[in-house]
């Protein structure tokens, strides 16, 4: 499988990269390349120009500041996976990074690419919805912040303009009582989710849920945030009854279709099961 011909540029500054995008409406940004290059090989994409941002300095980092964990968009999945900070304080993110594709792919694939590609089967979108993350888009006119809830506009489409680059993802810094979990059913390592659930909760000393984020992967045209399920948790003591009520609502929010990974009914049932199990784990982690 051979890609079609295209031009290539590897700017070393963000401004040069943005300028190239503005000048070439048929350009595509090349980040980790692990969605784009396979698409090129299958000739499902034929950009005139690839703007490789791997040589732009300063786009890969993890830092806590101002109440946020800020993640450079070019941070590799493998670096999320091996980060002690992520493992200790952001278990939902750690779980997610570890379940993306396979270990070799994770060495190049980036969190920014996973979000900007907006494949409904990608794992980070649900996780970022659960975290209530926000992202920074850099364009010719400067930077703007996009709440993650406004980012995904459809399958493979986002609110990024063609001449904008996603540069940073921010999620709320860990507070006491935070706990999260990502559970994914896949047929084998490297597969997209049959169904996956991202949950991020906060429980206070009394065991009452003070905030909840719950979202689903590959169960609709985009990642789905389950607002009703979240509402069923907030303000409630996080007991089995609350967990099950939330899981029922999550299953109602799912929009699965039958395919080779399973029937619509199976996938909906998985949402219930995974939500319950993910919430139990998140609760355990929140109490640590």
Partner 1 sequence: MPEINGFGHSMKRKEDARFLQGKGNYIDDFKLPGMLWLDIVRSPYAHARIKSIDTSQAAKVPGVLGFITGRDLEKYNLHWMPTLAGDKQMVLPIDTVKYQSQEVVAVIATDRYTAADGVAAVTVDYEPLPVVVDPHKALQPDTIKVRDDKDSNRIWHWEVGDREGTAAAFAQAATIVREKIYIPRIHVASIETCGCLADWDGVNKRLTFYVTSQAPHVYRTVLALVAGHVGLSEENIRVVSPDIGGGFGGKVPVYPGYVLAVAASVLLGKPVKWIEDRSENLAADSFARDYHINAELAADQAGRIVAMRMDTVADHGYSDAQASPSKFPAGLFHIATGSYDFQKAYMQVDGVYTNKPPGGVAYRCSFRVTEAVHAIERMVDILAHERGEDPAEFRLRNFIKPEQFPYMSALGWEYDSGNYHQALRVAMDMIGYADLRREQAEKRARGELMGIGISSFTEIVGAGPAHQFDIIGLKMFDSCELRVHPTGKAIARFGTKSQGQGHETTYAQIIANELGIPAEHVKIEEGDTDTAPYGLGTYASRSTPTAGAAAAVAARKLRDKARKIAAHLLECAEDDLEWDKDRFFVKGAPGKAKTIQELVFAAYTNHPSDLEGGFETVHYYNPPNLTYPFGSYICVVDIDRGTGQVQTRRFVAVDDCGTRINPMIVEGQIHGGLTQGFAPAMMEEMQYDENGNLYGGTFMDYMVPTAVESPKWEVGETVTPSPHHPFGAKGVGESPTVGAPPAFANAVVDALWHLGVRHVDIPITAPKVWELLKQHGAALEE
Partner 2 sequence: MSTHHIKLTLNGETKEADVPARLLLVHLIREVFNLTGTHIGCDTTSCGACTVILNGRPVKACTVLAVQADGAAVQTVEGLAQGGQLHPIQEGFHQCHGLQCGFCTPGMLLTSAAFLAEHPNPSDDEIRWAISGNLCRCTGYMNIVKAVQYAAEKMRAASAQPAAAD
Residues at the interface with partner 2 (CB under 8 A) = 1-10, 30, 33-34, 37-38, 40-42, 50, 52, 54, 78, 101-105, 107-108, 189-190
**Residue 273 site contact among partner 2, partner 1, none (CB < 5 to 8 Å, cut-off depends on kind):** partner 1
> Does residue 266 bind partner 1 (CB under 8 A)?
yes
Residue span binding partner 1 (CB under 8 A) among the ranges 53-61, 71-79, 130-138, 187-195: 187-195
Phi-psi region of 248 (alpha: psi -120 to 50; beta: other; left: phi over 0): alpha
Q: Looking up tokens 């005139």, which residue turns up?
A: 48
Q: How far is the CB of 28 from partner 1 (least distance, A)?
A: 19
Closest CA to 185 of 215, 217, 223: 217
Which are the contacts of 84, defined by CB distance < 8 A and separation ≥ 6? none
Q: How far is the CB of 257 from partner 2 (least distance, A)?
A: 22
> Does residue 43 bind partner 1 (CB under 8 A)?
yes
Asked if residues 218 and 100 have their Cβ atoms less than 8 Å apart, the reply is no
Helix 124-131 / helix 91-99 crossing angle, nearest 10 deg: 170
Interatomic CA distance for residues 109 and 100, integer angstroms: 9
Site for partner 1 (CB under 8 A): which residue of 162, 265, 284, 287?
265
Of 37 and 70, the one with the shorter C-beta distance to partner 2 is: 37
- Copy the structure tokens of residue 86: 């992520």
> Does residue 1 bind partner 1 (CB under 8 A)?
yes
Cα dist from 78 to 60, 108, 180, 246, whole Å: 12, 8, 19, 32
**Residue 117 site contact among partner 2, partner 1, none (CB < 5 to 8 Å, cut-off depends on kind):** none
- Copy the structure tokens of residue 196: 């996956």
The DSSP output letter for 149 is: G
**Residue 263 site contact among partner 1, partner 2, none (CB < 5 to 8 Å, cut-off depends on kind):** partner 1
> Does residue 107 bind partner 1 (CB under 8 A)?
no
Residues making contact with partner 1 (CB under 8 A)? 1-2, 4-5, 43, 102, 185, 187-191, 194, 244, 247, 260-263, 265-266, 269-270, 272-277
């Amino acid at each position: 499988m051979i890609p079609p011909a295209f031009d290539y540029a590897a700017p070393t500054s963000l401004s040069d990269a943005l300028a190239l995008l503005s000048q070439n409406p048929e350009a595509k940004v090349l980040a980790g390349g692990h969605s784009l290059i396979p698409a090129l090989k299958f000739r499902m994409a034929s950009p005139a120009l690839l703007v490789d941002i791997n040589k732009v300095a300063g786009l890969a980092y993890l830092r806590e500041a101002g109440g946020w964990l800020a993640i450079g968009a070019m941070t590799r999945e493998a670096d999320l996976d091996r980060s002690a900070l992520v493992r200790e304080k952001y278990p939902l993110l750690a779980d997610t990074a570890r379940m993306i594709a396979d270990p070799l792919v994770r060495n190049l694939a980036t969190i920014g690419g996973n979000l900007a590609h907006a494949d409904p089967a990608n794992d980070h979108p649900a996780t970022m919805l659960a975290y209530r993350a926000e992202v920074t888009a850099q364009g010719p006119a400067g930077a703007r912040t996009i709440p993650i809830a406004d980012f995904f506009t459809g399958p493979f489409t986002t609110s990024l303009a063609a001449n904008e680059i996603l540069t940073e993802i921010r999620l709320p810094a860990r507070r006491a009582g935070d706990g999260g979990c990502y559970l994914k059913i896949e047929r084998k390592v490297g597969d997209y989710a049959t169904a996956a659930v991202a949950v991020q909760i906060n429980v206070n000393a009394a065991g009452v849920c003070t905030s909840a984020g719950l979202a689903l992967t590959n169960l609709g045209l985009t990642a789905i945030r389950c607002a009703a399920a979240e509402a069923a948790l907030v303000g409630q003591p996080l007991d089995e009854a609350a967990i099950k009520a939330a899981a029922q609502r999550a299953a109602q929010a799912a929009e699965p279709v039958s395919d080779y990974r399973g029937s619509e009914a199976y996938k909906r049932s998985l949402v219930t099961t995974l939500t319950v199990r993910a919430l139990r784990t998140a609760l355990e982690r929140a109490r640590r």
